[in-house]
Amino acid sequence: MDAIQVHGVSKSYGSQRVLDGIDLTVPAGTVFGLLGPNGAGKTTLVRILATLVRPDAGRASVMRHDVVSEAFEVRRKISLTGQYAAVDELQTGRENLVMVGRLCRLGRRAAGQRAVELLERFDLAEAGRKLVKTYSGGMRRRLDLAMSLVTAPPVIFLDEPTTGLDPRSRQQMWSFVRSLAAGGSTVFLTTQYLEEADQLADRIMLIDHGVAVADGTAASLKVRVGGERVELEFASAAALALAVADLDVPASGERSVTVATTGTAAEVRELLQRMDKVGATVDKVAIHRPTLDDVFFALTGGNPR
């Protein structure tokens, strides 16, 4: 079953085309990563799927409910965690969670029980009775995510959930996201960290100027910008000259060349033996694999955001 379906969605603000015919599907129980430069249209698409903005054209559904004609049903199936933690600093962590539970029409006892469960799950049990204004940035972010899960929605939108967090807090958030997907939730993630999408997303879409420029797994997108490369650094300029002549490739550095490779040990060994035969002494060897950064810059030419 597809948790999210988007067909030909477009949106403009005045003369500015923000989204231009976006198509995507997100299977239930997976993590979907949406990447793109500043102004690419990521947040607009999330706001459309969360029923906060109406599309100008096309259609979209969440859990088989249309985001325009069945907006109320969609809102009952989702949670949205924005870029900045939406917590009440003058309440305790537990009070924040109980408040959300009561707003979602849970009884007093059920809301309290759910608050205890979430505080334990997000490693906030000891801090649960402290005022949120005393929390660190990572703690606030975890509480914010916990608040969005009070009613255990099947679809969760996370808009740059780890922005501004230290590496340890970011790793904790990654663990929580993985656990959500493992528990059957569908996670729609926007992020400015390419490594984050690489680590978490089952599928990734890159958009640029409102247009989808790539869609697939991280591995398939990396293949699009080329395979692995082996870099050979030579002991001298003379050795470099011999290698360039034998391999018929240009120098890639002051004393190095880069050659396409499958990355197998046998192929690298054969290449080194070839260099030995022509007298080109190799000083260092490095294997370079394409990264999601390579994909991003090759397809958008921009900065991730």
81 & 29 share domain: yes
Instruction: Count how many domains the chain has.
Output: 2
Q: What are 284's strand-pairing partners?
A: 233
Domain that holds residue 257: 227-289
216 & 231 share domain: no
264 & 216 share domain: no
Which of these three, 192, 222, 252, is where a domain ends? Answer: 222
110 & 207 share domain: yes
35 & 15 share domain: yes
46 & 95 share domain: yes
130 & 251 share domain: no
Instruction: Establish if 302 belongs to a structural domain.
Output: no
How far from 94 is each of 103, 105, 126, 173, CA to CA, in Å?
A: 14, 17, 10, 19
Instruction: Establish if 262 belongs to a structural domain.
Output: yes
Instruction: Establish if 298 belongs to a structural domain.
Output: no
Confidence (pLDDT) at 57? 96
237 & 218 share domain: no
- Do strands 203-208 and 211-216 pair parallel, antiparallel, or not at all (unpaired)? antiparallel
Which of these three, 180, 198, 222, is where a domain ends? Answer: 222
165 & 267 share domain: no
Q: What is the pLDDT along the chain (305 residues), one digit of tens a residue?
A: 899 999 999 999 999 999 999 999 999 999 999 988 777 888 899 999 999 999 999 999 999 999 999 999 999 999 888 765 678 888 999 999 999 889 888 899 999 999 998 998 888 999 999 998 999 888 888 888 888 888 888 999 998 888 777 788 788 888 888 888 888 899 999 887 778 888 899 999 988 889 998 888 888 877 776 667 889 999 999 999 999 999 988 888 889 998 877 778 888 899 999 999 999 999 999 887 767 777 777 776 554 44
Q: What angle do CA 199, 62, 304 make, to 5 degrees?
A: 35
Rounded Cα distance between 219 and 14, Å, is 38
215 & 245 share domain: no
7 & 132 share domain: yes
